[in-house]
Structure 1
Amino acid sequence: MSLQVRPATLRDAKAIAQLHTLSAQAVYKGLIPDEHLKTMSVEKRQAYWREAIEYCEPQVQVAVEDDKIVGFVGYDRSRDEKSRPTTGEIWAIYAAPSHWNQGVGLALWDAAREGLQEEGCTNVTAWVPLRNERAIRFHELAGFKREMSTAKTAVVGGVKIEEVRLKRSLN
């Protein structure tokens, strides 16, 4: 696989939104009611990612294979109120289901880590649903550790989803 990771451009917003929707529907199947998964809007996500790319909040990188976007990562400073200014956060990291377990996530994580280090971050966090075993396993393999005292509940599609923050040093 010849994979290239590069900064996202405004032209990438639609492809990122489509991939985000497709991946989220695959990841959250069985965790969130199907009725809610079907209502996930590419248009809303496209507007979100277009704005993120335009204003670099979060910074967005895409993984490209044969001119097709097969993954993306959004990262920036931590959004947690009590975090230090040197703490970064992975806001989102997704690979196309067709590219799971093929190194796309690792390539995106490497790019995000480098970007966060360039910004002066010394630690990085990510919020992950506890029942998203694939994401938990990915982050733990990348050196993140669970901070169980941070568990919180988010309501998605009328379902309570328990999330936990994972953290690791960037040194």
Structure 2
Amino acid sequence: MSSPLSGLCWLKHRKCRDRAPADLLAELGRGEIALTHEAFHALSPWRAAAHLEELLMTCGILPQVDKQICAFERWTIRHLAAVTDPEHARLIKRFGAWDVAPRLRARAERNPLTVSSRRGFSSQITQATQFLGWLAEHDLELATADRPTSTPGMSNTMSTPAPQSAGFCTGASPTSSPADSAFPPS
């Protein structure tokens, strides 16, 4: 850390926060927070947790992971928490774990990720969530969503706002994924 004063300011408790970064450090020291990336991705306040995670990676305490992968996984946890339909949340979790996250990791192995590329991957999950919502609003099932529908003025075309990622409709079918874990091993 180039400036010890900035580190002390970071540790200070700020108004409107449940916990200060110092609280996170104390919980970590007492063993209340697992020393894993997954544990840090679920913590709040997320900015303090992300900064602490980066410091621990810099010190070699946590394995190095692309910063944008960490941001994507944190975002996915928060996004899934906002999905109210349990079946939709399960499908989105599966899609993120078995389609989007592996492609994001593969890209990170070739080159460091940018904020923009991470947002593009997050957008695929957002679009899939919106697509499921649209299907529910129209009393349609995902299993039949890949079939052309007949809508006045739109014969033989898909009249649904299908997500950009072609993997969602095929990847979300009941037999397509081996498990519902949060993220496949990296």
TM-score range, shorter chain: under 0.3
Higher strand proportion (structure 1 or 2): 1
For normalisation by structure 2, the TM-score amounts to: 0.25
TM-score in terms of structure 1 length: 0.26
> Which structure dedicates a bigger proportion of its chain to helix?
2
